[in-house]
Structure 1
Amino acid sequence: MAIALGGNQYGKAEVRLVRVDRDGKRHRVTDLNVSVALSGDLTSTHLTGDNSKVLPTDTQKNTVYAFARDGVGEAEAFGLRLGEHFVRSQKSIHGARIDFEQYSWDRIEDRPHSFSRNGSATRTATVTWFEDGAHVVSGLSGLTVMNTTDSEFWGYIKDGYTTLAETTDRILATDVNARWLHHTHPTDWAESFEQAKHDLLTAFAETHSLSLQQTLYAMGQRVLDKQPGIAEIRLSMPNKHHFLVDLAPFGLDNPNEVFFAADRPYGLIEGTVRRDDLPEQNSAW
């Protein structure tokens, strides 16, 4: 039986980086979690322990910090700089993947150097750089949203195990986890991100939902409609169930006002909305 080494990569995960840009007295904070993964001509280190083609993960960490000295800017642009450096500076490295989680800080009462951590959502980005080109995926995770009406769920399959009652008025709540692949790079990464986030929220709010799947598609479609440079968007959205509490044992009615918020188990709805006229770039994800 023949045995061979398959696909592999290595790198430094979760490099915590905080950059403070000091524009006079008014400061700007960029708070990132950076993970680097490199691939290439690394067979010998797996088979014989020859490390002559290995760029140490500690060096990768140091590179992230050294590059930050010249400024970080937007995560996508920073990732392109890092990816190009790793691939072009090392003959044995043929591919680099840079993953980012970005945490937001809000100014306290518009003070120039005082901030509070914003927990509404985490901005994400993934840059893959290969010798034949680069791909950029932007995104966000943990964006919690809710519609208190304009949501229904009925007409589904019913069998001997079905107990769920149909409804024409329910709470629809979810955590939006979305990632979108850029076909062309925007001139302003931050503006593109804010536009996509706005379109996701607007589509969620404006869609009279007959299913979370329908809402997911409407959200993805709106992002693509508004930004021609985005090739596809992938969404993962748990259904954060809210069940009407039975108050009858207490002699009370419940006109769709008092709910129990269940955290598990939950339905998980996932899907991709993409442009048919562009080739799929699975390696970018």
Structure 2
Amino acid sequence: MAHVLGQNQYGKAETRVVRITRSGARHEIKDVSVSVALSGDLDAMHLSGSNAHCLPTDSVKNTCYALAKQYGIDSAEGYGIRLARHFVAEVAPIHRARVRIEEYVWDRIRTPRAPARATGAEEADHSFVRRGGEVRTAEVHWDGKALQVVSGLKGLVVMNSTGSEFRGYLKDRYTTLQETDDRVLATEVTARWRHSFTGAEGEAEPGWDTGWAEVRDQLLEAFAETYSHSLQQTLHAMGTRVLDHQPGVAEIRLQLPNRHHFPVDLEPFGLRNENEVFHAADRPYGLIEGTVHREGAVPAIPVE
């Protein structure tokens, strides 16, 4: 019985492209995941092993970066149209292109120290919080005598598109990381804070919802307003901000994975990357953890 090759396609899936537009001090961010599928005159790749009509998927990935640099990303739709047209027009064996894009939306962090805009909103120029995915947490321990309440949040993704450096660190024979005085600093905040509330008779119960929202705001404000020499320094600033403004919080523990954004090398394509186009890597990542507590207090939040 004869066999017939049916519909087929190939491409590059989930290329993360972060494009920062630096219009003076105020930056704009487009963060997308791009999946490209190409089809056309490709039968020989399957039937004889000939790669003569095969554009490598690595080239597909590079095209996503190069077009983001050359034209920017005005919208997911506009960027997708530009990519699809490019592959069909520029790669002769390709007759059809499908481009799927997921966009991750970033909102500006509002902070009292940021300049007020025409709308009256006080928004940071280069500090952002990613919309969606955040989870509020709570943990309560009660043994019949002692009450411990730990509030928290996780999945709070934030980014500073500038205002961060990393240099002067220890180097050994295996060190290849280059020092930088201007880097993207991004992390996904997991925070847990223990209340001094004991539940004793006559003790007023805190306003849990109001307090939680205030702590979240203070974490964001500290992240946005801290010029960072390291993520460790930023962690301490965030924890300190909460304790300074929340007398009912005894300690706070933070986990900050470093969501690395690596500048893409565009020189092979004759393009200069001026801190505009980045690859957002999800692993491996540095994990920074620490507790900030009041002097004399015994830390009680367990390390997970």
Q: TM-score, normalised by structure 1?
A: 0.57
Deviations 1:252-273 (A, max 9, x none): 1111101111111000000000
The 3-state SS of whatever aligns with 2:283 is coil
Computing the radius of gyration over CA atoms, which structure comes out larger, 1 or 2?
Answer: 2
Q: Match for residue 140 of structure 2?
A: 127
Q: Which letter maps to 2:250? A: A
Structure 1 241/280 Cα, relative in aligned 2: closer, same or farther at 3 Å? closer
Q: Match for residue 248 of structure 2?
A: 229
After superposition, where does 1:1-285 map in structure 2 within 5 Å?
119-184=132-197, 187-281=206-300
The 3-state SS of whatever aligns with 1:223 is helix
CA distance in 1, matches of 2:279, 2:142: 47
Identity among equivalent positions (%) equals: 60
Deviations 1:129-153 (A, max 9, x none): 0122211000000100000000000
Q: Match for residue 69 of structure 1?
A: none
Structure 1 194/186 Cα, relative in aligned 2: closer, same or farther at 3 Å? farther
Structure 1 229/204 Cα, relative in aligned 2: closer, same or farther at 3 Å? same
Structure 1 150/284 Cα, relative in aligned 2: closer, same or farther at 3 Å? closer
Structure 1 252/281 Cα, relative in aligned 2: closer, same or farther at 3 Å? closer
- Note the aligned Cα RMSD (angstroms): 1.7
Q: Match for residue 42 of structure 2?
A: none
Q: Which letter maps to 2:154? A: S
> Given that residues 137 and 284 in structure 1 are in contact (C-alpha distance below 8 angstroms), is that contact kept between their aligned partners in structure 2?
no
CA distance in 1, matches of 2:174, 2:251: 37
Deviations 1:156-212 (A, max 9, x none): 011110000000000000000000000127531000000000000000000000000
Structure 2, unpaired ranges of 5+: 1-130, 198-203
Q: Which letter maps to 1:223? A: V
Structure 1, unpaired ranges of 5+: 1-117
Shift of 1:277: 2.3
Greater RCO (CA < 8 Å, at least 6 residues apart): 2
> Given that residues 254 and 290 in structure 2 are in contact (C-alpha distance below 8 angstroms), is that contact kept between their aligned partners in structure 1?
yes
> Given that residues 194 and 301 in structure 2 are in contact (C-alpha distance below 8 angstroms), is that contact kept between their aligned partners in structure 1?
no
Deviations 1:5-34 (A, max 9, x none): xxxxxxxxxxxxxxxxxxxxxxxxxxxxxx
Q: TM-score, normalised by structure 2?
A: 0.53
> Given that residues 253 and 301 in structure 2 are in contact (C-alpha distance below 8 angstroms), is that contact kept between their aligned partners in structure 1?
no
